[in-house]
């Protein structure tokens, strides 16, 4: 299951990257992941300071996964390889660069998607988060999530995409520029407050 999750997550990110390369614009996605009920998570992310470097890879096998950092055990270990993936296969190379304790099941995006039983655009439990600080980078961003379910409809986890707010703003500005400045685009949160705009 782990190899399958890793492969599917990487292929999705790779295909999206190739699409934007063809459009000669930057991929607006900062992270793509699948998180499961046993606390397993598989994630590919682009470190914001290194947009042209290989993707970073992070995972946690399950809630009991223990690793050691400076001879200190970390339970619920979330291991990350920064800028260390093979650009063809997505496999991580070398040793991990950091490890922390992380349980995706307690994060607001996971709980909101799991709780949401509505079908939006054909996706069960689809949500857009309000802006929040990303745990990986400490930057402000938005998350789009949806439930992962079995063919019988049993909940097994959440798949999601992260967008840094600065990336969203750049995308909006590009849209306005492409319209010759005649179009203003903005994003609002669930309370109707504007959180990003194509004009400064």
Q: What is the CATH number of the domain that holds 104?
A: 3.30.450.20
Cα(29)–Cα(164) distance, integer angstroms: 8
Mean pLDDT for 76-84 is: 79
Least confident window among 26-35, 38-47, 78-87: 78-87
- Is residue 182 assigned to a domain? no
Report angle CA 13, 15, 171 to the nearest 5 degrees: 70
pLDDT exceeds cutoff 80 at 27: no
Q: Give the CA count within 13 Å in the CB-facing half-sphere of 1.
A: 11
- Is residue 12 assigned to a domain? yes
Cα(191)–Cα(41) distance, integer angstroms: 30
Give the distance from CA 135 to its chain's centroid.
11
Sign of CA pseudo-dihedral 181, 48, 140, 39: positive
The partner residues of 100 in beta bridges, in order of sequence, read 78
Q: 20 lies in which domain range?
A: 2-164
Query: At a CB cut-off of 8 Å and minimum separation 6, what does 119 contact?
Result: 126
- Is residue 170 assigned to a domain? no
- Is residue 57 assigned to a domain? yes
Q: Could you read off the pLDDT of 100-153 as tens digits, one per residue?
A: 888 989 988 899 889 887 776 666 677 888 888 877 677 788 888 888 888 888
Q: Among all chains, which residue has been given the structure tokens 């496999």?
A: 91
- Is residue 193 assigned to a domain? no
Q: What is the DSSP letter of 42?
A: E
Higher pLDDT residue, 200 or 145?
A: 145
- Is residue 198 assigned to a domain? no
Q: Could you read off the pLDDT of 179-197 as tens digits, one per residue?
A: 887 878 777 777 888 888 8
Query: Residue 3: which pLDDT band, with cuts at 50, 70 and 90?
Result: very low
Return the pLDDT at 35: 92
pLDDT exceeds cutoff 90 at 154: no
Phi, psi of 160 (to 5 degrees): -150, 165
- Is residue 118 assigned to a domain? yes
Per the structure, the count of domains in the chain is 1
Cα(126)–Cα(112) distance, integer angstroms: 9
- Is residue 140 assigned to a domain? yes
Which two structure tokens, joined as six digits, stand for 2? 């782990």
pLDDT exceeds cutoff 60 at 7: no
């Amino acid at each position: 299951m782990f190899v399958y999750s890793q492969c599917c997550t990487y292929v999705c990110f790779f295909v999206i990257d190739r699409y934007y390369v063809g459009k000669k614009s930057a991929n607006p996605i900062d992270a793509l992941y699948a998180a499961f009920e046993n606390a397993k998570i598989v994630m590919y992310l682009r470190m914001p300071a290194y947009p042209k470097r290989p993707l970073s890879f992070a995972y946690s096998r399950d809630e009991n996964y223990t690793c050691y950092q400076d001879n200190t055990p970390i339970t619920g270990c979330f291991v990350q390889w920064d800028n260390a993936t093979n650009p063809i296969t997505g496999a991580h190379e070398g040793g991990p660069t950091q490890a922390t304790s992380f349980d995706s099941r307690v994060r607001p995006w996971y709980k909101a998607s799991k709780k949401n039983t509505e079908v939006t655009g054909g996706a069960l439990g689809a949500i857009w988060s309000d802006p929040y600080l990303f745990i990986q980078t400490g930057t402000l961003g938005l998350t789009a999530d949806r439930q992962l379910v079995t063919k019988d409809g049993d909940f097994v986890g959440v798949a999601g995409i992260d967008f840094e707010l600065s990336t969203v703003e750049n995308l909006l500005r590009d849209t306005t520029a492409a319209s010759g400045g005649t179009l203003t685009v903005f994003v609002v949160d669930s309370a109707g407050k504007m959180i990003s705009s194509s004009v400064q």
